Amino acid sequence: MQRLTEGGYAKLLRHLDDDGHRLLFAWLSWIFLKFLIKDGAIAIKGDHRVEAVMEDKSTDWATLHHIHCLARSPYTGARIAPEVLGSVVILAIEDDRYREDFDFVTVHETQTIMIRLGDLAIIANLSDSGRSMDIMHRFVLPGKQEKFTILQALEICADMAATTTRINAKPVYVTRIDQATGRPSIHADLPVHEANPVDPSTRSAIFELVYREHLPHLKIAGSDMSALQAIRENRLTFLDHRMSRAATEIEE
C-alpha cells in the first residue's frame, strides 16, 4: 500500500488494478477494525464464551466478522470475489487552507471510512458490495470536477455513509474452502433490494459526526445561521453543483 499511495492520486489511479483493489479493501478493513477497537466501539469482554457474545445485541457481529476476514485476507490467502468489494471513491485533493497531509474519518455504524494522504483521498464503504455507487453518481458526485477541497471530500464521505442506510437488504458474506486446495475465498450473496429514502435525522447526525472538528470554524455567508443548525436542517453543502442559491453557500 505504501508503494501504491506514496506517489499520490495520479500514481494510485495508474496502478490500481484488480489485485490493487483487493489489497486496498483489505488495508482499509484493517485500519477500520483497529480504530473500532482503539475507540472502544467494540464491547470487548473478558468472557469469551459464545453465549456472552450472542447476548450483545448492539454490535453487528456478522458485519464485523466480514471486515475481519477482509483485513486478514493477505495473511490467510483468501481470494476476494469481485462482488464482495464495497463502494469506493478516489479523489484528488487541492486545498491550500489545510496544511496537514493526513486526515481520517470513520462512521462506525455504516462501516464507512475516509483516509486522506496528501493530495489523495480514499472514501469507501466496506460492507455494501458497491450498491451505493449508483446513488452516489446520480445525486452526490459532480460529473466534471477534477479536484476537491477537504470540506467537499468530507461531504462526499458523509453522503456515502448516509446512502448506505438506504439499502434495505444488505449483502450476506460467506467464506468457502476449496476442498482440493484448502484455499479460502470470500463471496457475497446479493439479495434484490430497493433504495429507501434517507431518514433526515440520520443524515444530519452523520454530517454532524463527520464535520465535528470543523464546526467551530465554519459560518454561512450572508446569514446568522450556524453551520451546526444548517447541518441539522440538512442545508449544509460545499459541492458547487448542489448550491442552488447564494444563501446556502458556505465559506471558511
48 pLDDT higher than 80: no
> SS3 sequence, 107-167?
EHHHCEEEEEECCEEEEEECCCCCCCHHHHHHHCCCCCCCEECHHHHHHHHHHHHHHHCCE
**What distance in Å separates the CA atoms of residue 91 and residue 238, rounded to the nearest whole number?**
15
| Residue that has been written with the C-alpha cell 445525486 in this structure | 139
Q: What is the pLDDT of residue 47?
A: 60
**pTM recorded for the entire structure:** 0.88
Q: Which distant-in-sequence residues (6+ apart) come within 8 Å of 128 by Cβ?
A: 86, 87, 111, 164, 167, 170, 171
pLDDT tens digit sequence for 202-214 = 999 999 999 998 8
Angle formed by the axes of helices 150-164 and 200-210, nearest 10° = 140
Looking at residues 38-52, what average pLDDT do you find?
A: 63
Looking at residues 175-179, what average pLDDT do you find?
A: 93
Q: How far is CA 215 from CA 103, 108, 229, in A?
A: 16, 20, 10
Grid cell for residue 96: 491550500
pLDDT tens digit sequence for 99-117 = 678 899 999 999 999 999 9
Looking at residues 91-96, what average pLDDT do you find?
A: 87
